[in-house]
Structure 1
Amino acid sequence: MNVEQPQGAPAGTSGIAGARKDAKSTGSLDRASEWHAKGRFDDAAREYEAVLAGQPGHAGALHGYGVLQYQRGRTAEAETVLRRSVSLKPEVMSLSDLGGILVAAGRREEALVQFDAALRIDSRHVVTLVRLGDTLLEMRRYAEALAAYDRALAVSPLVLDALSNRGGALRALARYQEALDTYDRALTVAPRSFESYYNRGLVLRDLQRYTEALQSYDQALAIMPRHPAILLTRGRTLIDLGRPSEALVSLNDAIASQPDFVEALYNSAIALERLGRANEAMQRCERVLALEPRHAGALISRGNALLRMAQCEAALSDYTLALEIESGSREALCNAGTALRYLGRYDEALRSYDGALALDEKFAEAWSNRGGTLYQMCRAQEALESYDRATAIDPNYAEAHVGRAMLFLSEGDFTRGWPDYEWRLSDPKAAHRARILPQPMWRGETPLAGKTILVHAEQGFGDTLQFCRYATLLAERGAHVVLEVHPPLKSLLMTLHESVQVVPAGELLPTFDCHCPLLSLPFAFATDQQSVPNRTPYLHPDRARVQRWENLLGSKQRLRIGLAWSGNREHVNDRSRSIGLATLMPLLEADAQWISLQKDVRDEDARVLGDSGIVCVEDEMRDFADTAALVQSLDLVISVDTAIAHLAGALNRPVWILLPDPAEWRWLRDREDSPWYPGARLFRQQTAGRWQDVIHAVRDAITELKAL
């Protein structure tokens, strides 16, 4: 409650002055005022009671005693005493303090009556005007609150509370620049007001001036270190800036100061999810939900973590629970659409996105995700229109640009596809964001002869195997190439070119002049379908390792066919890309020596594998160089869309790739061959989710192959 604290007297001085003239116990009232001002409430109460014992109708003593009772936590008694004081002598300060007590009791309309009565006596009473503004602000009557603060400041331009809360009213009215100016005025009055710095930061964040907001929060923290609310908002701002690692530090500091700080726990889950630390994000959400079981945001955030872990059904359940709590949550509707999309329930996904857009037609994320769903439904023109709506709303929305890029690339429109694909480096949610390096990024416009360029892998093994071929093109332009890759790829990729130096990620890098993310090289080389660098093989197995496999496999009596049926189980589209081994068993009817190329065998596949007769050599495949040597020893590789397919293609070994509908952009549309791998043959689903027809086609093709 905003009851004025006693400054020498417990309330308005006019009431006490009058009391001194009339009271027989002047000494008692003086002592009451003194003890009250010093915070010795029990002593002050004794002296007030002594005065009132002699003069029960002494308005000034009743006023001071009422304020004291409120400060002692006796709100009901305080109201009774102050009402008696006001009925005897309605003075400005006693009316104002009674209004303040009513505000604290949540009876704001009654408080307004008291403030109006006080202002009828003195329309320029600053304390009452500020209290009136504060009450109207709490009641969300922002324009009236602003008028009250302006009246107070017209009387006394340097009242800090009026300035600070005026900024709050302006912010609520979305008059952000005026709010910012007001907080700047407040800081001229009190240069070390952490509230003004904090509130100024909130306005700057509203204006999306995140870096300046961060500076304001840091200035507030310099005054009030480790303040949980400021650390929370600082963390949120760092998330807005796409700096989740730093955000997590700030949010963890807030949690350390206040372990059950729900909003800090919740936002730390968002930061962890953005960092790809889905399990930890889930744990934070669990802590939030233990404290607030109906926290819709935590349910949505937990759903996001589950979605990142490819647990789509569980994610959908969380989004559904969130919608039961907040039926108007556009985020829950949008994310439920994404879970439905990954589950292949495309029509339901579209309805969910449309529900989010009905709430907010300018929700760029929903338009973008709607585009992704339409793309998977092979409705390319509608998908493009949705992506275009997203970028029209937010021209810098990276995810929509990347979605549009994948649409163009899948249709073979590389000219429009590669530039849009560069937006992946600006996506704050993506693990392959632009790497911050002091050297310039090479985009194909400058000569490289005599220079050293760092090329850094940014995504999975398959992407690196597909696009590492560009390192050779750089070397042919006279560059010394430093290729930073996942450690298991080092030995194999050392066979690229003599001017390519392969460095495992995490090791010290040599000096370089410029750099380029690996998947930006097709853009830098302006690659189109006619200029795809498809000279294969561009990777080469070690002969000694090949001989070792020949010895292990023994003399060849039949076709040797390698089989890879599943990829990364945490890939959000794993459900579409991977095939259960049991589903592939009809292939084994072909008379061949079947060899597993799976390094990671799932439990449900292990049982089938044990009875299948497939040769298992996973313990012998220590890195990709070992696997490459094994692939070299085979007559054919059959693989789903995984790194093994790219490895076989890079080695120019015969590879048949089993693709879902729709397939990833790199395999284009409706083709049985690939411009990237001349030795590849593509077998595509004709109906989304149906593998049986693909498997029958592959089995027939094996029969034809044996007949040759």
Structure 2
Amino acid sequence: MNPKHWKWIEKARNLDRQNKRHEAIPAYRRFLELEPGDAGGWVDFGGLLMVMGELEEAQQACERALRIDGLNLGAMVNLGCVLTHRGQLVEAEGYFRRVLVRDPRQLDARMALAECLFKKPDLDGARSELNKLIQLDPGHASAHQLLGQLFFGRGMWSEFQEEIQRYRELDPDSGYVEYERGFLSLLFGDLPHGWPLYEARLKVPGLVGPERHFTQPQWKGESFVGRTLLLHFEQGYGDTLMFIRFAPLVKALGGRVILEAQAPLADLVATCQGVDVVIPHGAPTPPFDLQLSLLSLPGVFNTGLESIPAEIPYLDIPTWVPNRIKIAQVLSESNDKIRIGLVWAGNPTHKNDGVRSIPPGVLTPLAALSGVAWHSFQLGVKEEAPLPSIANLGPLISNFSDTAYALSGMDLVITVDTALAHLAGALGIPVFLLVPFSPDWRWMLGRSDSPWYPTMRILRQPNPGNWEAVIQQVIQGLAE
């Protein structure tokens, strides 16, 4: 290598380490123009492109590295990771296993193989690889987290708790382990024990968002008469809709309550009692003295199963509904039938969407039901449900005000675990919630009702992935 060219790869790698990825790309490109035969440069460039989501070019860079050096283990690992992201799991597995044949102690390759097998899903294979990895590195955080996901997905609760305890002994200060303990306590219905532990979610970088850097102190539940409290959203739309119910309890303890919410929810959550001002996320925030995340409110009030504020409705339809006339016209076409709203899939970018969403074809048995007017609330649908004369409301929904108005015309809502379930519940509309075998903590285990939403009925998979049985439960429930 020409020593004068070295400065470009050093610059690229330094920028990459500083997370200045967009600046690192031209430095990598310049180096590889000057030194196209440097396999290590192509490996690092491919890894950066993969992190940035440029999967096609990342694959080309890794393949280029392997043409230069067919035994480059880093290129094989990176190429396997790219193929995993692209869903080419068989090919990805092959690359990881080739690396491990040459170097069984290659931790990155073994972790990547476990993740690949987890996605296939070959859960027994994934568990085997994770156990091998943990033998080599007992404190490997990513291995612990994936093993926890595996146990969770299978409902292996005792094994999950044992793994949490094992890792906790290695890292007693781990915020992630504390979060896991809180999650399981909430899932098992032990809310007073779970809330304090669940606060650890705020200590783990990247676990929840958006990140907050307030200088104002957290509100602890004391009287704040004469002062202003900012309640701010966290995580998704459903979380905001679920926990805004605590606003009246907050207001009873003090002065002014400002709510920062996601912009599409702003008009809707302004209908909740106890909120003085709603600020859409990104808009300037008025001065305030105290602040707290909405998801921390149950802990502040030491909420148990018997003390959940579940008076419904606690939200209402906003005065301004952008597409009120068009939605009303669609609803008027089914006045003589039972209107059922339907959502079978969530946001595809959600980390758990593959588990919570239902393939449209599974809904086919619902087509035999007579006297039903089906209304799809699915947004950005690529494949419509195979139901007779289903009315697609998706194009008429511009924000949650439209959604609330359309929901008010439904006799029943059938939905997977999305924000629509929370909105229907908050409006007091009957809901059939369809949840996977291992659900989110808020739906708990082994019960068909929800203490959060009195009009909700929970229909559960009897075993992982079995949506067909859930649809039969829907048919039976409608027959009742």
Verify same fold: TM over 0.5: yes
The answer to whether the aligner puts 1:265 opposite 2:31 as a matched pair is: no
The answer to whether the aligner puts 1:229 opposite 2:7 as a matched pair is: no
Deviation, structure 1 residue 407: 1.8
User: For the Cα contact (< 8 Å) 2:89–2:116, is it kept in 1?
Assistant: yes
Deviation, structure 1 residue 284: 4.9
User: Aligned partners of 1:527 and 1:325: how far apart in 2?
Assistant: 51
The CA deviation string for residues 87-145 of structure 1, in whole angstroms up to 9 with x for no partner, is xxxxxxxxxxxxxxxxxxxxxxxxxxxxxxxxxxxxxxxxxxxxxxxxxxxxxxxxxxx
> 2:346: which partner in 1?
567
User: For the Cα contact (< 8 Å) 2:249–2:274, is it kept in 1?
Assistant: no
Q: Is the partner of 1:468 in helix, strand or coil?
A: helix
Cα distance change on mapping 1:351 and 1:264 into 2, 3 Å: closer
Deviation, structure 1 residue 601: 0.7
User: Aligned partners of 1:306 and 1:485: how far apart in 2?
Assistant: 37
Choose between structure 1 and 2 for higher RCO, CA contacts under 8 A separated by at least 6 residues: 2
User: For the Cα contact (< 8 Å) 1:364–1:389, is it kept in 2?
Assistant: no
**Alignment length (residue pairs):** 457
Deviation, structure 1 residue 527: 2.3
User: For the Cα contact (< 8 Å) 1:454–1:515, is it kept in 2?
Assistant: yes
Where does 1:294-333 land on structure 2 (aligned, <5 Å)? 296-297=73-74, 300=77, 313-314=87-88, 317-318=91-92, 320-327=94-101, 328=104, 329-333=106-110
Structure with higher helix content: 1
> 1:477: which partner in 2?
253
Gaps of 5+ in 1: 1-225, 239-243
User: Aligned partners of 2:252 and 2:368: how far apart in 1?
Assistant: 47
> Partner amino acid for 2:92?
D
User: Aligned partners of 1:295 and 1:457: how far apart in 2?
Assistant: 46
Pick aligned residue for 1:587 from 348, 366, 377: 366
User: Aligned partners of 2:289 and 2:78: how far apart in 1?
Assistant: 41
User: For the Cα contact (< 8 Å) 1:320–1:336, is it kept in 2?
Assistant: no
Q: Is the partner of 2:226 in helix, strand or coil?
A: coil
User: For the Cα contact (< 8 Å) 1:266–1:297, is it kept in 2?
Assistant: no
The CA deviation string for residues 548-585 of structure 1, in whole angstroms up to 9 with x for no partner, is 44443216212111111111112233222111222112
> 1:137: which partner in 2?
none
> Partner amino acid for 2:373?
Q
The CA deviation string for residues 522-560 of structure 1, in whole angstroms up to 9 with x for no partner, is 233332222222222111113675974444321621211
Let me know the Cα RMSD of the aligned residues: 3.1
> 1:334: which partner in 2?
111
User: Aligned partners of 1:319 and 1:651: how far apart in 2?
Assistant: 47
Deviation, structure 1 residue 259: 5.4
> 2:64: which partner in 1?
290
User: Aligned partners of 1:281 and 1:533: how far apart in 2?
Assistant: 47
Cα distance change on mapping 1:336 and 1:671 into 2, 3 Å: farther
> 1:388: which partner in 2?
165
> 1:441: which partner in 2?
218
The CA deviation string for residues 574-607 of structure 1, in whole angstroms up to 9 with x for no partner, is 22211122211211222211111111212xx23x
The answer to whether the aligner puts 1:597 opposite 2:377 as a matched pair is: yes
Cα distance change on mapping 1:341 and 1:524 into 2, 3 Å: farther
Gaps of 5+ in 2: 1-6, 34-40
Deviation, structure 1 residue 630: 0.6
User: Aligned partners of 1:235 and 1:436: how far apart in 2?
Assistant: 25
Cα distance change on mapping 1:492 and 1:316 into 2, 3 Å: farther
Pick aligned residue for 1:417 from 173, 194, 197: 194
User: For the Cα contact (< 8 Å) 2:341–2:377, is it kept in 1?
Assistant: yes
> Partner amino acid for 2:262?
H
> 1:22: which partner in 2?
none
User: Aligned partners of 1:394 and 1:536: how far apart in 2?
Assistant: 43
| Structure whose alpha-carbon radius of gyration is higher | 1
> 1:399: which partner in 2?
176
User: For the Cα contact (< 8 Å) 1:296–1:322, is it kept in 2?
Assistant: no
User: Aligned partners of 1:681 and 1:618: how far apart in 2?
Assistant: 24
User: For the Cα contact (< 8 Å) 1:316–1:336, is it kept in 2?
Assistant: no
Deviation, structure 1 residue 681: 0.1
The CA deviation string for residues 203-237 of structure 1, in whole angstroms up to 9 with x for no partner, is xxxxxxxxxxxxxxxxxxxxxxx88537735753x
Q: Is the partner of 1:638 in helix, strand or coil?
A: strand
User: Aligned partners of 1:550 and 1:418: how far apart in 2?
Assistant: 42
User: Aligned partners of 2:230 and 2:78: how far apart in 1?
Assistant: 36
> Partner amino acid for 1:599?
L
User: For the Cα contact (< 8 Å) 2:270–2:278, is it kept in 1?
Assistant: yes
Pick aligned residue for 1:490 from 266, 276, 291: 266
User: Aligned partners of 1:386 and 1:454: how far apart in 2?
Assistant: 38
Deviation, structure 1 residue 466: 1.5
The CA deviation string for residues 44-71 of structure 1, in whole angstroms up to 9 with x for no partner, is xxxxxxxxxxxxxxxxxxxxxxxxxxxx
Deviation, structure 1 residue 631: 0.6
Cα distance change on mapping 1:288 and 1:306 into 2, 3 Å: closer
Where does 1:38-117 land on structure 2 (aligned, <5 Å)? none
Cα distance change on mapping 1:447 and 1:684 into 2, 3 Å: same
Deviation, structure 1 residue 317: 4.3
> 1:346: which partner in 2?
123
Structure with higher strand content: 2
Instruction: Tell me the percent identity.
Output: 32
Cα distance change on mapping 1:314 and 1:542 into 2, 3 Å: same
User: Aligned partners of 2:351 and 2:72: how far apart in 1?
Assistant: 25
User: For the Cα contact (< 8 Å) 1:596–1:615, is it kept in 2?
Assistant: yes
Deviation, structure 1 residue 674: 0.8
User: Aligned partners of 1:528 and 1:281: how far apart in 2?
Assistant: 46
User: Aligned partners of 2:215 and 2:47: how far apart in 1?
Assistant: 31
Q: Is the partner of 2:340 in helix, strand or coil?
A: strand
Pick aligned residue for 1:616 from 373, 383, 392: 392
User: For the Cα contact (< 8 Å) 2:76–2:95, is it kept in 1?
Assistant: yes
> 1:499: which partner in 2?
275
Deviation, structure 1 residue 445: 5.1
Cα distance change on mapping 1:314 and 1:256 into 2, 3 Å: closer
User: For the Cα contact (< 8 Å) 1:418–1:522, is it kept in 2?
Assistant: yes
Deviation, structure 1 residue 353: 0.9
Cα distance change on mapping 1:286 and 1:505 into 2, 3 Å: farther
User: Aligned partners of 2:147 and 2:228: how far apart in 1?
Assistant: 43
User: Aligned partners of 1:570 and 1:295: how far apart in 2?
Assistant: 33
> 2:239: which partner in 1?
463
User: For the Cα contact (< 8 Å) 1:299–1:319, is it kept in 2?
Assistant: no
The CA deviation string for residues 126-183 of structure 1, in whole angstroms up to 9 with x for no partner, is xxxxxxxxxxxxxxxxxxxxxxxxxxxxxxxxxxxxxxxxxxxxxxxxxxxxxxxxxx
User: Aligned partners of 1:514 and 1:346: how far apart in 2?
Assistant: 46
User: For the Cα contact (< 8 Å) 1:371–1:385, is it kept in 2?
Assistant: no
> Partner amino acid for 2:361?
A
User: Aligned partners of 2:31 and 2:283: how far apart in 1?
Assistant: 39
Pick aligned residue for 1:553 from 319, 331, 334: 331
User: For the Cα contact (< 8 Å) 2:238–2:420, is it kept in 1?
Assistant: yes
Cα distance change on mapping 1:252 and 1:480 into 2, 3 Å: farther
Deviation, structure 1 residue 255: 3.8
User: For the Cα contact (< 8 Å) 2:42–2:64, is it kept in 1?
Assistant: no
User: Aligned partners of 1:235 and 1:577: how far apart in 2?
Assistant: 35
TM-score, normalised by the number of residues in structure 2: 0.84
Deviation, structure 1 residue 648: 0.5
User: For the Cα contact (< 8 Å) 1:432–1:458, is it kept in 2?
Assistant: yes
